[in-house]
């Protein structure tokens, strides 16, 4: 019987990280490598698929070595990945026919606009739970088929395969024997019916994508194949796969309906577990598959914020008022509390619930007495206020949700001042993950749960999730949260629109001021 060590591969947007976990899910060894970002044109973002593959193999080998183990001691592999990023390859050669088109890429925005004008929005939203946007995979696949010479004919002949990054890695790890994906990654393509968890023919027709190029959809805990011995030094079962935000939901043990997590990196992704109930958002949130472990699909509401940690990077790189991220908290704590300065951090437009790429960043309330400390506080406040907007929208979509606790992870969650401020503003307890590796931990739990043999399943902390720190909000006194309708006075000072129809007017007005 193999030992119960689990290898988790976390393939991200800028780097690949592999971690070996012990049977009780403690990190024992890790390795990480960055890889180049490619920007061939304005708004285009690409990765070389071979870089994704190479860094996966090299970090996996490195993590095993750093744990003092050999590949024969690894019981199973779990994979988590950047979502929506699109790879199309030739089955005959195993090589990609174009660079991977990254989730951030905007080249298909015009094609998405045409779909909206053609009236496809209702069909796509009702089946996939998503808004029509270049962010998701479907329009990226269509672009590759239409712009790579001979691609359409090769696809029609059954020679091409599409996959999100998880699918590409599994295909390579198994020597081309398995063309599969998991249900969470499939749910981010605009091609999957989230009610059934299967590909939808009408959605495929919207984008003129042949069914033959798509992978088989599996549950998050399933048999994804066995690695070729020559790659890592042993044949190892791949037993768990999930998109990064879904793996984080699992890694933060948000297994019960009403539990919510927010991951703060460059941006912020917040997911609210809605259980077996598929909530249709009226507030421009996404309805997505949270995970599928067992017979039933668990759904979630998702809100995406484009700028979270990026606001702190702006303080450092754009304004030069801090030299490292940690200094933002020290500076913000010195701010004059009587000054009310607000940053709308629309450096790349506004995400949920506004969804307006034309909005531009703005600062309000500055005086001659405003300085670096007030700017630092405004930047950190902007992260908290955007989170409030997401929670407000989620509560509006699902009034039954208690939203009494917010679990957080990611780089910004290490900022004690910001997390206490977040608790004050959203008005609920903010609980920080004990491990900074919630995403990889989620992938490890899936693989360990799937493998079973020799593993301590009791380590899945459905109820007793260990928190590193718990920041409770003070008793509301009207200075941060209004004692009336619960809306923040500072949000009202932005004069932000509260209906989607007002968003473009807001963006236009703010960009002109």
Of 278, 272, 266, nearest to 302 by C-alpha is 272
Residues 302 and 377 in one domain: yes
Confidence tier at 461 by pLDDT (50, 70, 90): low
More confident residue, 366 or 35: 35
Mean pLDDT (the chain, rounded): 86
H or E segment to which residue 11 belongs: strand 5-11
Strand 216-218 vs strand 180-182: parallel, antiparallel, or unpaired? Answer: parallel
Q: Are 5 and 20 in contact (CB under 8 A)?
A: yes
Q: Which pLDDT does position 476 carry in this prediction?
A: 55
Quick: pLDDT tens for 309-319: 888 888 888 88
Quick: pLDDT tens for 354-404: 877 677 888 888 888 888 888 888 988 999 999 999 999 999 999 988 888
What CATH number should be reported for the domain holding residue 492?
3.30.420.40
User: Coil, strand or helix: which one is 66?
Assistant: helix
Gap between the Cα atoms of 253 and 442, Å rounded: 8
Number of domains in the chain: 2
**Distances, alpha carbon 512 to alpha carbons 31, 85, 347, 364, in Å:** 47, 34, 15, 13
Report the DSSP beta bridge partners of residue 363: 343
More confident residue, 54 or 513: 54
- Residue 396 has a CB neighbour count (10 Å cut-off) of 14
The two structure tokens encoding residue 308: 């979270």
Domain stops at, among 224, 244, 264:
244
Average pLDDT over residues 394-419: 88
Confidence tier at 334 by pLDDT (50, 70, 90): confident
Q: Which pLDDT does position 91 carry in this prediction?
A: 96
User: Coil, strand or helix: which one is 404?
Assistant: coil
- The range of the structural domain enclosing residue 365 comes to 253-438+455-513
The two structure tokens encoding residue 375: 């700017």
Q: Which pLDDT does position 245 carry in this prediction?
A: 94
- Residue 311 has a CB neighbour count (10 Å cut-off) of 26
Gap between the Cα atoms of 342 and 360, Å rounded: 14
Quick: pLDDT tens for 463-503: 445 667 777 776 554 333 432 233 333 333 343 444 434 43
Domain stops at, among 219, 244, 269:
244
Q: Are 471 and 245 in contact (CB under 8 A)?
A: no
Is residue 445 assigned to a domain? no
Domain stops at, among 201, 218, 244:
244
């Amino acid at each position: 019987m193999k030992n119960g060590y689990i290898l988790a591969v976390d393939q991200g947007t800028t780097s690949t990280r592999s971690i070996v976990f012990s049977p009780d899910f403690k990190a024992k060894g890790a390795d990480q490598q960055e890889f180049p970002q490619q920007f061939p044109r304005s708004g285009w973002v690409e990765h070389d698929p071979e870089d994704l593959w190479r860094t996966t193999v090299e970090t996996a080998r490195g993590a095993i070595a750093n744990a003092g183990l050999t590949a024969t001691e690894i019981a199973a592999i779990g994979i988590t990945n950047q979502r929506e990023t699109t790879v199309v390859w030739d089955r005959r050669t195993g090589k990609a026919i174009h660079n991977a088109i990254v989730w951030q890429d905007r080249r298909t925005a015009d094609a998405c606009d045409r779909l909206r004008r053609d009236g496809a929005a209702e069909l796509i939203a009702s089946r996939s739970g998503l808004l029509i946007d270049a962010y998701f995979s479907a329009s990226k696949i269509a672009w590759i088929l239409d712009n790579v010479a001979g691609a359409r004919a090769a696809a029609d002949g059954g020679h091409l395969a599409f996959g999100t990054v998880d699918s590409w890695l599994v295909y390579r790890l198994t020597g081309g024997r398995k063309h599969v994906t998991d249900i969470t990654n499939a749910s981010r393509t605009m091609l999957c019916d989230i009610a059934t968890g299967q590909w939808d023919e009408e959605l495929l027709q919207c984008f003129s994508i042949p069914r033959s190029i798509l992978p088989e959809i599996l549950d998050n805990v399933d048999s994804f194949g066995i690695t070729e011995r020559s790659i890592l030094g042993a044949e190892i079962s791949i037993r768990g796969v999930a998109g990064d935000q879904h793996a984080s939901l699992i890694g933060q043990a948000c297994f019960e309906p009403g539990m919510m997590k927010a991951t703060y990196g460059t941006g912020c992704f917040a997911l609210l577990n809605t259980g077996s109930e598929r909530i249709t958002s009226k507030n421009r949130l996404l309805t997505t598959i949270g995970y599928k472990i067992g017979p039933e699909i668990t759904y979630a509401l998702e809100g995406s914020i484009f700028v979270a940690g990026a606001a702190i990077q702006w303080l450092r790189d754009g304004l030069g008022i801090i030299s490292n991220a940690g200094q933002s908290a020290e500076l913000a704590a010195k701010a004059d509390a009587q000054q009310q300065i607000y940053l709308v951090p629309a450096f790349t437009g506004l995400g949920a619930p506004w969804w307006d790429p034309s909005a531009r960043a703005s600062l309000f309330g500055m005086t001659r007495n405003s300085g670096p400390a007030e700017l630092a506080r405004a930047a950190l406040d902007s992260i908290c206020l955007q989170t409030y907007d997401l929670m407000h929208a989620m509560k509006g979509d699902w009034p039954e949700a208690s939203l009494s606790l917010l679990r957080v992870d990611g780089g910004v969650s290490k900022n004690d001042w910001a997390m206490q401020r977040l608790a004050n503003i959203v008005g609920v307890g903010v609980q920080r993950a004990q491990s900074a590796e919630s995403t990889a931990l989620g992938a490890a739990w899936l693989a360990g749960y799937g493998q079973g043999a020799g593993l301590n399943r009791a380590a899945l902390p459905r109820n007793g999730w260990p928190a590193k720190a718990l920041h409770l909000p003070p008793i509301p006194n009207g200075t941060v949260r209004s004692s009336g309708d619960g809306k923040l006075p500072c949000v009202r000072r932005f004069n932000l629109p509260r209906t989607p129809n007002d968003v473009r007017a807001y963006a236009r007005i703010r960009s002109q001021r």
